[in-house]
């Protein structure tokens, strides 16, 4: 179950979800979060995102 960026319209561009120790989180040109295939489903980003943009699926 990798992390998936959902509800991107709720993204507040705070970048607090950038806690990934596997470098699976990046930010697109529009500033919104992007999850790469290097995600290992640890959930650290999900817990740190105050906007609820990320979830494990």
User: Percent of the chain beyond pLDDT 70?
Assistant: 98
Beta-sheet pairing, 54-56 with 25-27: unpaired
pLDDT of residue 16: 81
The 10s digit of each residue's pLDDT in 13-34 is 887 878 899 999 888 888 778 8
Query: Between vectors from CA 15 to CA 11 and to CA 18, what angle results, nearest 5°?
Result: 120
> Has residue 5 got a pLDDT over 80?
no
The whole-chain average pLDDT of the chain stands at: 85
pLDDT of residue 21: 92
Average pLDDT (31-53) is: 88
d(CA 55, CA 41): 10
pTM of the predicted structure, to 2 decimals: 0.76
Q: Domain locations in the chain?
A: 3-56
| Domain covering 3-56: architecture | 2-Layer Sandwich (3.30)
């Amino acid at each position: 179950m990798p992390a998936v960026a959902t509800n991107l319209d709720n993204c507040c561009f705070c970048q607090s979800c950038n806690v990934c120790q596997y470098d699976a989180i990046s930010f697109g040109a529009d500033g919104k979060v992007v999850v790469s295939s290097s995600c290992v489903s640890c959930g650290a980003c999900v817990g740190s995102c105050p906007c609820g943009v990320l979830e494990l699926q």
